[in-house]
Amino acid sequence: MKPTHFLIVCLMFYIPAVSVAQTCKSVLLKRLSTEKAHRGYLQEVKLMKLQGEHTIKNFEGYLRDNLGDAFVMSARNGAADFVVIALGDGPEALAAAKAQGFSLGGLVSKNVGFHQIRWAKNSQGQSGFVIYRVNGSDREIHIQSFLKWLNFPGENLFTVGENKNWTPALVNFFKHLGPPPDLVVYGFAQAAVQGVFERNPVSNLPFLLRAYRALKPGKSSLKDDQSDLQGRPVHIMTLANGKRVWFFKNMYGSLSLDLVKALASYGAKNFLSLGTAGSLSEDLPVGSIFTPAQIGDVTGHYTPIQSLRALSGVPVMGNYEKVDTPNIETRAWLKDSVDRGLDAIEVELGYLINWANSNSQVNLAAALVISDILVGDQHRDMTEWGSRDLVPLRSRFTDFICQMLGINNHRDLSLKNYQVVIFPGDGG
């Protein structure tokens, strides 16, 4: 109903003038709040204590790698009149920014991160930036925390669009992939696939060229009209015993939940989650593999994890917490976390644990690899971790796959078929 029509209806029913004015004003404000950008930092970011020394050795380099030199300098020296974070799938996010009167310029050069940054102007001719390819609550918090580290004024920060749940699009995509898999391997897809190939290199030779093409290094940025999911691969293996395994790359934070919910909806029941974690304990050195024993809540209380299947040869140990972003990991945060008994952190597994807690039909196992350690003489931060560190772990990942499928003979890991299916974009 248009505001003018609402006013007429109010008058027809003899509502007092003051009540009419208040009610109609409320309708108008509600409409405006859905049409205008949100201003300022999220409450979660406002509460972050982002100051002092960070545990990343070259934190300035880390900032510039993620944001680009031009952005960092402009945000710091006041040259940027505004920063807009455009949420949701890339094309929709950019459309939301344009609808608010922001015109886009060239891309800002940066080294890492899925998000993209463009120079921009608002309708008043002021200069700033639009950050897009930002979807999911954790990624939104992650990007905002960068800005807080730069002391960027909250009154000049705007958020447009909304986070998109990928579950429906993923379910639609899976319909083209055949029956549900007997096992989903989530995370370290490249290393896990290579591990299976290496177990039977001769018999798997016919598929080796296909695997090489899919796994060889190489990355190109998405075009502005392409979906965030476009180009993401799904590795599908059919083993000699007929078992089907699907391999997926990691998705940041809450987006991991979109994926596993879609897979479960499609009929998948067995999940092996592989990922990295940061260590706050010398009992968990870089390269070690573990399954967390307890999970922390917002009050700092740790409870035993009941929903994770144990993997043979993997210790179940330590107090674990999911964090929204590694940007919180200052020296002060580290001291406080160690004092309250925290052993390890990462950004995804907590979602899967809570999901499995309420879905008893799900069989979920998790193996976390320590990629960085923040304490002791062996300190190593996450920027020093690379794909080469996974090479000696491929065989371990294959062992986990065998456990999940009940395979005792390595010949059963010979491939009957192997294909790589690429996500075409929103809607599948």
* Domain-ending residue, one of 117, 146, 161: 161
For the cut 70, the answer to whether the pLDDT of residue 6 exceeds it is no
Residue pair 84/364 in contact by the 8 Å Cβ criterion? no
Average pLDDT over residues 312-330: 97
- 11 and 48 inside one domain: no
Domain boundary, last residue among 138, 161, 184: 161
In a domain, 368, yes or no: yes
Over 60: is that where the pLDDT of 34 sits?
A: no
Q: What is the DSSP string of 221-286?
A: PPPTTS-TTTT-EEEEEEETTS-EEEEE----TTHHHHHHHHHHHHT--EEEEEEEEEE-STTS-T
Residue 10 pLDDT greater than 70, yes or no: no
Q: Tell whether 417 and 285 lie within a shared domain.
A: yes
**Above 60 in pLDDT, residue 3?**
no
DSSP label at residue 347? S
- Where residue 393 sits, what CATH number does that domain have? 3.40.50.1580
State percent of the chain over pLDDT 70.
89
123 plus 177 within the same structural domain: no
Q: Does 428 map to a domain?
A: no
Average confidence (pLDDT) over 22-35: 37
CA distances to 52, 188, 241, 380 from 376, rounded to whole Å, are 20, 27, 47, 9
Range of the domain at 296: 167-422
In a domain, 56, yes or no: yes
DSSP at 330: B
What pLDDT band is residue 13 in, cutting at 50, 70 and 90? very low
What's residue 308's pLDDT? 97
Asked if residue 224 and residue 98 are part of one domain, the reply reads: no
Q: pLDDT (tens digit, 9 = 90+) per residue, 104-134? A: 999 999 999 999 999 999 999 999 999 999 9
Q: How many separate domains does the chain show?
A: 3
14 and 44 assigned to the same domain: no
pLDDT of residue 16: 40
Is the C-alpha dihedral spanning 394, 400, 404, 409 positive or negative?
A: positive
Both 200 and 128 in one domain: the answer is no
- What band does 32 get if pLDDT is binned at 50, 70 and 90? very low
Whether the predicted pLDDT of 62 surpasses 60:
yes
User: Which of 143, 161, 179 delimits the end of a domain?
Assistant: 161
CA 161, CA 95: separation in Å to the nearest integer?
9
Task: State whether 297 and 409 are in the same domain.
Answer: yes
Q: Is 140 a domain residue? A: yes
**Are 207 and 325 members of one domain?**
yes
Query: At 19, is the pLDDT very low, low, confident or very high (cuts 50, 70, 90)?
Result: very low
Domain assignment present for 196: yes
Instruction: Please give the pLDDT value at position 11.
Output: 34
The predicted pLDDT at position 52 comes to 95
For residues 87 and 426, which has the higher predicted lDDT (pLDDT)?
A: 87
| 427 assigned to some structural domain | no
Same domain for 150 and 71, yes or no, is yes
Average pLDDT, the chain: 90
One domain for residues 222 and 136: no
pLDDT tens per residue, range 64-80: 999 999 999 999 999 99
Average pLDDT over residues 238-246: 96
The encoded tokens of residue 11 equal: 């008058």
One domain, residues 173 and 319: yes
Token pair for 329: 């990991």
29 plus 78 within the same structural domain: no
